[in-house]
Amino acid sequence: MMKKPFLSTLPLLILGGILTAWILHAQTKQTPMTTSDQKPAQPAKTVTKTDAEWKKQLTPEQYRIARKAGTEAPNGEIYKQFKKQGSGTYYCAGCDAELFTSKEKFDSRCGWPSFYDPSKAKNLKQIPDPDGSRVEVRCKVCDAHLGHIFTGEGFNTPTDQRYCINGTVLKFVPDEK
């Protein structure tokens, strides 16, 4: 009598599907964007740390994005939090360098925090991807991966640029009232 291969592997397929769903859920779980009531001191020089030091300072998600050039899931809790934030300043979660202000923030409906211009251009660097398809944005002070910049998308902003930034690697400080 010949075994039906599909029926014998069905439990493994189901288990594999459950495991895959669990892994994807774990990877998309986001911690809230860091917020603070006090403006951080600005770094006076380049911040360099060992991998172990970064892992100790950053959350696992921040480490994956900032140090390994990852990307957070779109339209997550951090994006919802970003959309509700009022006026204030956004700093690098790795080194506290000022990056953006809410004055340059806009809703591009892409699922990630968007800005049309950096508040302190000296704290950002742009690196074209090897294939030329986009330009990576990194913190100039600690070399954290922040996201990408896109130009010429037709947004009604003064620069027609979209800094598409991972909110996980930002620290928000609201303006003083």
- What span, in angstroms and rounded, lies between the C-alpha atoms of 82 and 113? 7
- What span, in angstroms and rounded, lies between the C-alpha atoms of 116 and 62? 23
Helix and strand numbers, DSSP H then E, in the chain: 4, 9
Q: Which CA distances in Å does 46 have to 96, 101, 126?
A: 11, 21, 16
**Catalytic-residue membership of 95:** no
Q: DSSP states of 110-157 as a string?
A: SSS-EESS-S-GGGEEEEE-TTSS-EEEEETTT--EEEEEEE-S--SS
One of 92, 95, 142, 164 is an active-site residue; which one? Answer: 164
How does strand 34-35 pair with strand 170-174? parallel
Question: What's the token pair of residue 90?
Answer: 């956004």
**Which residue numbers are catalytic?**
164
